[in-house]
């Protein structure tokens, strides 16, 4: 992430913004949690995760057949501050989304 325009283009998509906000709130989520919280199918979430990974915003780890995502600790400070400010505005909504996302599979 080298330029604010890149961050804003990525976050201008509602699904990607939701994913980043969910990860900011939770620390780490599996794909099934993200799908449940966003009410989006797994293939769509996977496409968005690829964009976020390519931009360096998220990292993933595999645990068995599940992939868990978290925000990258290498995000520039200005980008992390933008994400945190956005999260502060949306946190009540995000917490409601997470209440519906209790994945029991992973």
What's the average pLDDT block by block, 10 residues per block, for the chain (106 residues)?
A: 90 96 95 92 96 96 92 96 95 85 62
Helix locations, 55-76, DSSP H: none
pLDDT on residue 103 = 61
pLDDT on residue 83 = 96
pLDDT on residue 28 = 95
CA 2 to chain CA mean position, Å: 19
pLDDT on residue 106 = 61
* Measured distance CA(67)–CA(19) in Å, rounded: 14
Q: Indicate whether this model's pTM tops 0.85.
A: yes
Burial 59-98 (b: 16+ CB within 10 A, else e): beeeeeeebbbebbeebeeebbebbeebbeebeeebeebb
């Amino acid at each position: 992430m080298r330029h604010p325009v890149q961050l804003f283009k990525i976050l201008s998509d509602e699904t990607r913004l939701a994913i980043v906000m969910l990860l900011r709130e939770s620390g780490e989520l599996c794909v099934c949690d993200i799908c449940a919280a966003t009410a989006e199918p797994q293939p769509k979430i996977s496409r968005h995760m690829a964009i976020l990974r390519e931009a360096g915003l998220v990292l993933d780890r595999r645990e068995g057949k599940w992939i868990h995502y978290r925000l990258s600790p290498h995000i520039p400070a200005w980008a992390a501050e933008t994400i945190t400010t956005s999260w502060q505005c949306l946190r009540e909504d995000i917490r409601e989304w997470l209440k519906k996302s209790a994945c029991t599979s992973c």
